[in-house]
Chains A and B, each alone.
Chain A
Amino acid sequence: MTAELITEAGAAPEAPARGRQVRRRLYADRMAMAGLVIAVVMVVAALAAPLLVHLEGQDATTYHPELLDSARGGVPRGSFGGAGGAHWLGVEPTTGRDLFARALGGARISFLVAFGTLIVQILLGVGIGLAAGLGGKVADAFLGRLIDLAISFPQLIFAIALLAIVPGTFPRPILLMMVIGLFGWGGTARLVRGQVLSLRTRDYVSAARLSGASRTRIALREILPGISAPLVTYAALLLPNNMISEAGLSFLGIGVRPPASSWGQMLSTATTWFQADPTYVLVPGLLLLVNVLAFTVLADGLRTALDPKAPSLRGGRR
């Protein structure tokens, strides 16, 4: 997965877009804008979760067994899983907890982990990638091997392994952020290292050396700005990937654990209900799907806006 993410991020463009131009191109891209709107709405909803849940008049933990039909195994009464004025998205089977509240709570955790992981990946990835790219032969040889190692490690599997050992008292979301991030910085580092190595040979870097600029100065003023475009694109694509990783781990029962909820975790309990109460599956499933799509499309739009010649997810004439 990382291999093609890197190729997708592309090389630093020769005629880089200025801020204004980037924004203009992005605004003109309708799909990316749709993605942006959805993403913003979701993030805001997640942040304002307590308020929204309060508006609805429910909460995520109260059981409402009276809304369930125990004769049919605990399925919520009414159509669409009991959705209506009181419970906007219905209730959970067997517990009767409000689905809307749980879904929003899930959104919070999903976003928290996804963004937190991204921060870890970027900090580690850029740091190590820069050091490898700018360092001398020895530093690069060592760090380069380290990056290869980080990429070859089966990320999810080691994550599972670690998650299995750490006692349950440690806050799960933070653990997830650390674990996914710790095994996921390799791609970023490889991207940064590659870009730095190629930018180093440019003549304007030589010119900077000729003027007596120190290595730090060259790194900060000449090289770093050059990698910002591919880095932003790559980071934008990492976000939905992180969401999927967290959802996957939670789905397997290893990530976020009840009573906390994340969409992945909700989906895992929902599996058995797909025939009796499809709403219970569709709510977290569609939310996850729409979110990932929104961020992916946004990331793609960002990439095209930053470098119109880069290959786009959504195609278009080359």
Chain B
Amino acid sequence: MTRYLLRRFASTVVLLLVMVAFVYVIFYALPANPAVLVCGKGCGGGQLAAIDHKLGLDQPEYVQFWHFLEGIFVGRDYSSGPDVSHCAAPCLGFSFQNDQPVLSLIGQRLPVSLSLTTGAMVLWLVIGVSAGVLSALRVGRFTDRAVTAVSVLAFGAPIFVSGMLLLMLFCGYLHWLDFPVYVPLTDDPAAWAKNLLLPWFTLAIAQAAVYARLTRTGMLETLSEDHILTFRAYGLRERRIVGRHAMRGTLTPIITLSAYDFGYILVGAMLTETLFGLPGLGQLIVQSSNNVDLPVVAGLTLVAGAAIVVANTAADLLYAVVDRRVVLT
């Protein structure tokens, strides 16, 4: 087990390094004039020269890359003469447009995205898995058909479409809810939840459909396995067979899948936050992209990539722990 952990850790590190290199190449090495891109639109000549020097663009490529790496581990200073911008470790870049290290920008917005995705995940897991189990236990009957029909519909709808429709229905037509405005959890939990309802459901709908279907298929498969037959043959009560034995087999892959999915939080958040105007990481990356604030985009890309890699590794480990049969290679 330790051997596997070490190997996995090593390959994760390699993967992350590759990602860092990739990000660096795309954002800093490729563009013809990174200073322009980094500085953003509307940068004058003097500013550009200063930026040039600050970024160390007058130095050879590998030195630049080294500084970049160094920044991530130790922090770096962007200096040109008396003007010093300090960027503490891990330095994911410095946004000159906002005059802040990218990391602090991320820090400000992280709670929003986290609120959104965690809440949505809980919602989609609870709804999806329950619907799937119900569907499987009543296979072929009305409940099953109804759940399946709704799932197909929900599955096909892209986030922004369903979000829009929900908005129109609950905000525009029924007037049950107001247009969502973010309220931090620490300020007012009730308002926090109420405002996040629409975004949560928007993000959760499509995923709930996916999980409902997966759970249904998984449960049906598990129920037809030999060891379930054995327990029936020994007279165990059906409720116990389903609740204790079938669920275990069904939930295991679902749990690991959700660990994988968690790594993709940023992607789902992007669309939802943009649609509802929530000040999270997703909105940040979209805005920065439109404003061509490259350091921010670069930093966020790195964060997103790292999140996925880490989530994947965690999911694999989780799977091995839950199902002892798995041989880790």
Contact = CB atoms under 8 A, between A and B. Distances in A.
Task: Answer yes or no: are A and B bound together in one complex.
Answer: yes
Interface of A: 1, 3-4, 145, 149, 152-158, 160-165, 240, 244, 247-248, 251-254, 264, 267-268, 270-271, 274-275, 278, 281, 285, 288-289, 292-293, 296-297, 311, 313-318
Nearest to A245: B158
Given A152-B309, A154-B264, A154-B308, A251 B213 contact: no
Given A165-B26, A247-B158, A314-B152, A252 B270 contact: yes
Interface residues of B, number: 66
B153 interface: yes
Contacts of A164: 288-290, 292, 294, 297
16 contacts: A1-B264, A152-B15, A154-B264, A154-B301, A156-B267, A157-B301, A157-B304, A161-B297, A163-B289, A165-B27, A165-B37, A254-B290, A267-B161, A275-B171, A275-B172, A313-B152
Contacts of A288: 158, 161
Q: Which of A157, A160, A313 gathers the greatest number of chain B CB atoms within 10 Å?
A: A157
Contacts of B300: 157
A163 B288 CA distance: 12
A263 B10 CA distance: 44
Interface of B: 11, 15, 18-19, 22-23, 26-27, 30-31, 37, 135, 139-140, 144-145, 148, 151-153, 155-161, 164-165, 167-168, 171-172, 210, 213-214, 216-217, 220-221, 224, 257, 260, 264, 266-267, 270-271, 274-275, 285-286, 288-290, 292, 294, 297-298, 300-301, 304-305, 308-309, 312
B26 A3 contact: no
A260 to B, nearest CB: 17
Q: Is the interface of B mostly helix, strand, loop or mixed?
A: helix
Nearest to A264: B160
A292 B159 CA distance: 12
Given A247-B158, A251-B274, A281 B308 contact: no
B267 A154 contact: yes
Q: Is the interface of A mostly helix, strand, loop or mixed?
A: helix
A274 B275 CA distance: 12
Contacts of B31: 165
Given A289-B156, A292-B157, A162 B26 contact: yes
Given A162-B26, A248-B159, 19 more contacts: A152-B308, A153-B19, A154-B267, A157-B304, A157-B305, A158-B26, A161-B298, A164-B289, A164-B290, A164-B297, A251-B271, A251-B274, A252-B274, A278-B172, A289-B161, A311-B217, A314-B152, A315-B139, A315-B216
Q: Which of B161, B217, B308 gathers the greatest number of chain A CB atoms within 10 Å?
A: B161
A244 B158 contact: yes
A4 B286 CA distance: 27
A240 B155 CA distance: 11
A274 B164 contact: yes
Contacts of A254: 286, 289-290
B168 to A, nearest CB: 5
Contacts of B213: 313
B139 A317 contact: yes
A158 B301 contact: yes
B286 A274 contact: no
B257 A248 contact: no
Contact of B168 (A145, A247, A278, A297): A278
A248 B160 contact: yes
Contacts of A248: 158-160, 270-271
Contacts of B275: 251, 271
B30 A165 contact: yes
Given A157-B300, A165-B30, A293 B257 contact: no
A149 B15 contact: yes
Given A165-B26, A252-B271, A293-B152, A315 B135 contact: yes
Contacts of B271: 248, 251-252
A285 B26 contact: no
A161 B289 contact: yes
Contacts of A4: 210, 214, 257
Contact of A165 (B168, B214, B286, B294): B294
Contacts of A244: 158
A240 B156 contact: yes
A318 to B, nearest CB: 5
A160 B297 contact: yes
A155 B267 CA distance: 9
B156 A154 contact: no
Q: Which 9 A-B pairs have the closest CB atoms?
A: A293-B156, A315-B148, A164-B289, A311-B217, A154-B304, A292-B156, A157-B304, A244-B158, A275-B172
A4 B171 CA distance: 34
Nearest to B135: A315
B286 A297 contact: no
Q: Which of B19, B158, B210, B300 gathers the greatest number of chain A CB atoms within 10 Å?
A: B158
A271 B164 contact: yes
A296 B156 contact: yes
A120 to B, nearest CB: 19
A149 B18 contact: yes
B98 to A, nearest CB: 16
